[in-house]
Amino acid sequence: MISRNMPMCQAVLEHYRLLPLLPRFNIRLGFGEKCVEEVCRLNHVTTEFFMEISNAYLDDDYIPQTDLSLFPLGDLVGYLTSTHHYYLEVAIPKIERKIHQLLDGSALSEKERGLVSGFFDDYRKEFLEHVSREDKLVLPYILELEKEYMKEKPDAEFMKRLQVYTIRDFAREHDRLETSLENLSRLIIKYLPPFEDFDLCHQVLTDLSDLVRDLIDHAHMEDKVLVPRVAEIEQHLLRKSEAG
Ligand SMILES: [Fe+2]
Ligand SMILES: [Fe+2]
Reduce the DSSP state of residue 7 to 3 states and report it. Answer: strand
User: What are residue 7's DSSP bridge partners?
Assistant: 35
Ligand 2 center to 84 CA (angstroms): 9
CB 167 within 8 A of CB 224: no
Residues recorded for the chain: 244
CB 24 within 8 A of CB 86: yes
Ligand 2 center to 19 CA (angstroms): 22
Q: What is the pTM of this model?
A: 0.92
CB proximity list for 35: less than 8 A, separation 6 or greater: 4, 5, 6, 7, 8
Nearest by Cα to 146 from 232, 79, 218: 232
Q: What is the pLDDT along the chain (244 residues), one digit of tens a residue?
A: 999 999 999 999 999 999 999 999 999 999 999 999 999 999 999 999 999 999 989 988 887 776 766 788 899 999 999 999 999 999 999 999 999 999 999 999 999 999 999 999 999 999 999 999 999 999 999 999 999 999 988 999 999 999 999 999 999 999 999 999 999 999 999 999 999 999 999 999 999 999 999 999 999 999 988 999 899 999 999 998 887 6
Q: What is the CA radius of gyration of the chain?
A: 21
Ligand 2 center to 234 CA (angstroms): 20
Q: Residue 168: which region, alpha, beta or left (left: phi > 0; alpha: psi -120 to 50)?
A: alpha
What residue segments make up the domains of the chain, in order of their start?
Answer: 8-58, 71-243
Ligand 2 center to 221 CA (angstroms): 9
Ligand 1 center to 52 CA (angstroms): 18
Ligand 1 center to 175 CA (angstroms): 10
- Give the number of the ligand closest to the Cα of residue 85: 1
State the Cα angle at 162 between 236 and 235, rounded to 5°.
20
Ligand 2 center to 173 CA (angstroms): 10
Nearest by Cα to 56 from 31, 33, 35, 83: 83
